Amino acid sequence: MSDHGQGETKPLILVVDDDAAIRDLVREALEHFQFAVAEARNGAEGVKTFARLKPELVVMDVRMPEMDGFQACAAMRQVPGGANTPILILTGLDDTESIKTAYEAGATDFASKPINLFILGHRLRYMLRAKRTLDELRESEARLASAQRIARLGNWERDLRSGRMRWSGETYRIFGVDPKTFTPDLASYLERVHPQDREIVARATGEAVRREGPYSFDARVLMPDGTVRFVHEQAEAIFDDDGTPLRLAGTTQDITERKQIEDQIRLLAYYDGLTRLPNRVLFMERLTQALTTAQRQGGTLAMLFLDLDRFKRINDTLGHTVGDRLLQAVSERLKKCLRSTDTIARGDPLASTDTVARLGGDEFIVTITDIARGEDAAKIACRVLEALNEPFKLEEHEVFVSGSIGISLFPHDGKDADTLLKNADSAMYHAKDAGRGTYQFYNKSMNEAALQRLAMENSLRRALERQEFLLHFQPQIDVVTGRIIGAEALVRWRHPELGMVSPGDFIPLAEETGLIMPIGEWVLRSACAQGKAWRDEGFGEMIVAVNLSGRQFRQQPLVHTVDEIVKSTGFDPRCLELEITESILVQSVDDTVSALKRLKDMGLRVSVDDFGTGYSSLTYLKRFPIDTLKIDQSFTRDIATDPGDAAITAAIIAMADGLKMAVIAEGVETEQQRDCLRQRGCRLMQGYLFSRPVPADQFRLLLQKQAGGEPPGGEATSARRVAG
């Protein structure tokens, strides 16, 4: 037996024959053709040598001891990597039965004895060349199959006459079927296509055979387990010389993952991440389509702009997590009460339908197409408001919320999306001004009000630097002694064109825009400076009360700011009283207690303004270092005529006395109100009965009169009235 010969680059031929003389002749001839030769004396030895050396070609005799050529050929085919090695079987000239058996055993070709050694050399060269060509083809097919598997891309052909199809292995995998049990043809293929997409296949095939060019489409296919996947198909028709369409040749690619990513991107682009409602982008696209349809058909369309009332208070009080849960619950309730379809489930973000969308924050928008008249929109608005009336149960909280709705109509209130949205927004603000929990239709005067509001905001931003703010002071009276014991500082705005602007108009705007922060700091500084001036003039110690907004109280440097103002103005901190509302108290209770204690450590006083209109929790009152409760004027107003208000007021006074707090009644306008309050133990009051809020110079006159023995009203009769 011989090994490779002179060089590893020479093709190795294994010669298996029990006749040593024939092996020598074959070896000599093959080496002449630059082959390396290995030898084996019988079939069994040949199989072992084949497994060890892995030759590129085998020349083997049929008749040999121990294991004949047929058995050896079959055994070599079972050796790993041996399935494609060319095997040339040597047989007798007329041994046709052996030739048949050789092919059945896996032989590549045969040669008859006696052997023409020269022809054998050339024949082996040809066989090796064919083998290498086949190897390259198999490698190419393997690379193609691997690439198709990675790309989830299969190829196929369909005979247009019979409908029979030829599928690649990857095509079977894409459709989830076994090539051993599944026979691909047009009928079985269409069974796998989603029923709603079969028309796409028929239309594309028709276009291709009519020579309208290659086609491509996306379709859904049904898997054996009932799931749905997406495929992208491309194909073209193959024609004969006469132009008759013979077959379709195409590819099928599984694009399910890509579709899922596209759907996720589409969801992020078109839907609100918190509520899963359509967002502003999708809303505007739908509205534009709906307006085009309404204009073409001469129809009417309504837009409802919904804003939740006092949502910010809920968010600040209970936290953003509960606020988010509330928005989700509101969106679910809106979807249930409106005649809309769940477009998220349908997966069609551009479908035009009556729908609810979230514009952002606590703002929602509803479009109603094809309504007969404006009253229909009002009915839907009522339905929405009624749906919000039921309390929302969120974790351990039961939350009540209402909404204000503005309505604009196409084409009456606007012919484009932006105008309708702007006008519905304007109408919504008027609904809030009308008392909240209601709806308002748009009219042109609302636009004028919106423009005025914008102009006021612009003016408000410049009012501080133009020194347009001033303070008015309303005296707080001890009705037992008739003396002024304090003053509440109230900011006023003298607009250069509008004159005195009501605080009810500009304070909410300042809160909304954040301008309340610099304005509040100016009020505090000016009030302290004025209190110091009055004391320096000899009017004695007098409490100056200043209101703090929620934004001011929650700012981080509040204590530092107050300390700096008190020190820079020289005002005695024991004479400064900061007024806060009940809603401020219950926001971040621990932080509030900490801030109030730090203010108290500076010597300041703290009062709760408008007491009785908010949470009125005894638990909170016990925890907070509070000096004074101020009875809201809504109780004072009817104290003489409404037993309920009288009872509530008496309870507040008794509670304050029990907690060692002072109590001041606001809004006292009549002697009857004063007398009822005094009879229930309240001696500190403020209101128009004693004095309206007045500028600092007029308040000085009140102090001068008091120093001269006159009461705040100026006459001796007033002094007697105040003293009781």
Q: How far is 487 from 530, CA to CA, in rounded Å?
A: 11
Helix (H) or strand (E) holding 215: strand 215-222
User: What is the rounded average pLDDT for all residues in the chain?
Assistant: 84
For the stretch 531-551, pLDDT in tens is 999 999 999 889 999 998 877
Class of the domain covering 152-254: alpha beta
pTM of the predicted model, to two decimals? 0.48
The DSSP call for residue 247 is E
Task: Kindly tell me the sign of the dihedral angle through the C-alpha atoms of 687, 692, 697, 703.
Answer: negative
Q: How far is 649 from 632, CA to CA, in rounded Å?
A: 9
For the stretch 477-517, pLDDT in tens is 999 999 999 999 999 999 988 889 888 888 888 887 888 88
Angle at 553 between CA 596 and CA 700, to 5 degrees: 85
pLDDT at res. 573: 94
Alpha-carbon distances, residue 351 vs 263, 288, 344 (angstroms): 15, 12, 10
Inter-residue contact 123 to 116 (CB < 8 Å): no
Q: How far is 83 from 50, CA to CA, in rounded Å?
A: 12
For the stretch 572-621, pLDDT in tens is 999 999 998 877 766 667 777 888 888 899 999 999 887 766 555 566 67
Average pLDDT of span 628-655: 88
Residue tagged 């040339």 (tokens):
88
Q: Where are the domains of the chain?
A: 12-146, 152-254, 273-442, 475-482+518-723
Q: List strand residue ranges (DSSP E) for 502-632, in order.
A: 543-547, 576-581, 605-611, 628-631
Q: pLDDT category, 185, cuts 50, 70, 90?
A: very high
pLDDT at res. 553: 78
* Phi, psi (rounded to 5 degrees) for 360: 140, 155
pLDDT at res. 265: 80
Inter-residue contact 14 to 40 (CB < 8 Å): yes
Residue tagged 């900011």 (tokens):
491
Under CATH, which number does the domain 475-482+518-723 receive? 3.20.20.450
For the stretch 391-417, pLDDT in tens is 888 877 888 888 999 999 898 888 899
Helix (H) or strand (E) holding 303: strand 300-308
Helix (H) or strand (E) holding 263: helix 256-270
Nearest CA-CA partner of 470 in 511, 529, 427, 426: 529
Under CATH, which number does the domain 273-442 receive? 3.30.70.270
Residue type, 140: S
Q: How far is 127 from 714, CA to CA, in rounded Å?
A: 130
Q: How far is 306 from 260, CA to CA, in rounded Å?
A: 33
Evaluate whether 152-254 and 475-482+518-723 have a shared fold: no
Q: Is 173 left (phi over 0), alpha (psi -120 to 50) or beta?
A: alpha
Q: What is the DSSP string of 312-347?
A: HHHHHHH-HHHHHHHHHHHHHHHHHHSS---HHHHT
For the stretch 329-380, pLDDT in tens is 999 888 888 754 333 323 333 333 447 899 888 999 998 887 777 777 888 8
For the stretch 431-459, pLDDT in tens is 888 778 888 888 866 556 666 777 888 88
Q: Residue 543: beta bridge partners?
A: 486
pLDDT at res. 677: 93
Query: What architecture (CATH level 2) is domain 12-146?
Result: 3-Layer(aba) Sandwich (3.40)
**Whether residue 278 has pLDDT greater than 80:** yes
**Whether residue 714 has pLDDT greater than 50:** no
pLDDT at res. 1: 43
